[in-house]
Structure 1
Amino acid sequence: MAAGRLMAAEMAEQPAVLRRLLEEGAPRIREVAARIADRAPRFVLLTGRGTSDNAALYAKYLLEILLGKPCGLTSMSTTTAYAARPDLTDCLVIAVSQSGGSPDLVASTAAARRAGGITLAVTNNADSPLARAAEFHIDVLAGPERALPATKTYTAELLALYLFVEGLRGGDGAASARQLPGLAEEILARHEEVRRLAGRYRFAERMVLTSRGYGYPTAKEAALKLMETSYIPALSYSGADLLHGPLAMVDNVSPVIAIVTDGRGGQALRPVLDRLRDRGADLVVIGPKAEVEAASAGFALPTEGVPEELQPILEILPLQLLAHEVTLARGQDPDAPRALSKVTETR
């Protein structure tokens, strides 16, 4: 089988997965959200590893901005390794996992349920141990994933979490998200454009990715995809954190990819982009056309009219393609990263 064929096929499935989730999954997600809303959780804890941890971070932004709920990302070792016994009464605990099979997620979710938490598992496997451990479950309906790098399950997790948060506040998120499958098809059809962009990174020894607000989880997920497929050390920073020290390592050799959302997050990132240009950075922008034209290179996203909180579902697509193409250009196979397996047995 040709290198990268599985990852390419699963990236191409994403418009269909998004449609399936909107048409078949949305009613069930609204039902789960309504039942949890009736319990009136006071705050939210989110749990995940790797790609799913980045999806959980996206949900943290949604919950804090749209619902005003205080949120935190959990440290699973506090319960799995240190046997801590927190009081989680009236706390919503959301565990996000593609496979639903990682022992630490299952154990920490079971512990949260014993501690009085309202537990929700968001997975791509309704029969998984994690789905059974939680009180509630949302299936992201992405279908079997054979390539080791997660692509379609990530965007499905984002959309499922968006629909869930909208459901918590009594809204119909599916109406706002109807345009996403078509826009995703449009972006994925520009594969050749990404292939040309990938030539900039064939010999890169290090990369920096940055964003603000809703785009920050995208920067983290893109960095993860680049590291696990091409083995390029890719560092991801909030634009604000980048200015607090790491900016010193940026020069005209190390590439910087900035994810610029069309909205408040993008506005907050603009001073960072100015500082990067002042340092002569090799700056590539993923975002609105005007921001791309002001950079060294980039990929213009069709986000006009798309709510800022939904743009991460589109932002990650050209970056998935980029990780795939950079890996092939370096003579490696993105389908089978070394030392990785589909279910990570962390405890």
Structure 2
Amino acid sequence: MGQANDDNDLLGFVRDLADPATFTVEEDLGHGYVRLRVTEAERRQALQDIRSVEDVVKELVRNARDAGARHILVSFQKEKGRWRNICVLDDGGGIPPELHHKIFEARVTSKVREVVTDHLGIHGRGMALYSIKQVVGEVHLVGSEVGRGTAIRARIDTRDVPERKDQSTFPRLEANEEGVLEVVGGPHNVPRVLTEFVLQDDEVELYLGSNAEILSTLYHLSSDLRKSWAGGGRLEGRPLWFELGGIKEGKALRNFAWERLGLAVSERNAFRVLECEIPPLMSINELLRSGAEDPGLRRSDLHRPIRVEWSDQLARRLTPQDLKLLSSRLSEVFQEIGERCWLAAEHPVIKRRKDRLIISLRLHEKED
């Protein structure tokens, strides 16, 4: 009889263990009512907090702003028409190394004394990163150092976490009776989320672009900072990207971008950044200051034209017309040489590389 009771108790224990309610319900109140465990309540709240890609960007940017960042850069790139890759980098207060493994846990926050209320609601419950982790799954702290800022990368399956189809158009803005700009229309996309941040706090410079565009922007920010520092200027801090401006080789730049900043770029694009073929972006703040009430603003309007003074590269002083003229003259000169050496050459290919030109002439045996 005792053995049968023990068996029944064991079976009951196994059934309870297999029942999901065992881990979600703290107390059965009867009549179909229960009191959820705190962890389950948090999980369900996370599903409510993060329902779109736009929500992910909103929470990551809010965290960066609350950390005291002066620059926030959002890398925003689509992969195979399905996966949205996001990396948010800032130069805020950073996270102590002993807390790196805890920031995606619930109720972990640096806002000890009070919550923050802004145009998006209450912030400071310590639930933002936890919510993103629960919903997105693939989110990582790339790096963070106290006083140098933070880089967080997320990869989102847009079949599970949707996004607005149009991610290129900025919202329509109009000045109200007090002359203050307000959003009056346009898609509820990431450009709109970031525009609303800028309208609330113009002191923080916000950037939006592809991985290569953000890398180029960081490279130029770093170069300017390093020049100021070398010239005796005051250096208030060394952000995570401070070392970028000292890198002069494409492979090294690509590796630094991925390992330290979470930006995946090809070696070719890294080289193009070094050669100033991918110009830095203007901030959304600057775009709005220059043409805020333009009804047709798009992400492409953030692109700057290439300027010689960014790079100190002598070869950049030569225009495409100059190169075309040089190529034509080289063809004429080589034609005379080729006659003597029984050689023919294809049209010259001329590339600008900092303070030099690289000229390629493909040779062939001259035919009768």
Is TM > 0.5 for Structure 1 vs Structure 2?
Answer: no
Q: TM-score, normalised by structure 2?
A: 0.22
Name the larger-Rg structure: 2
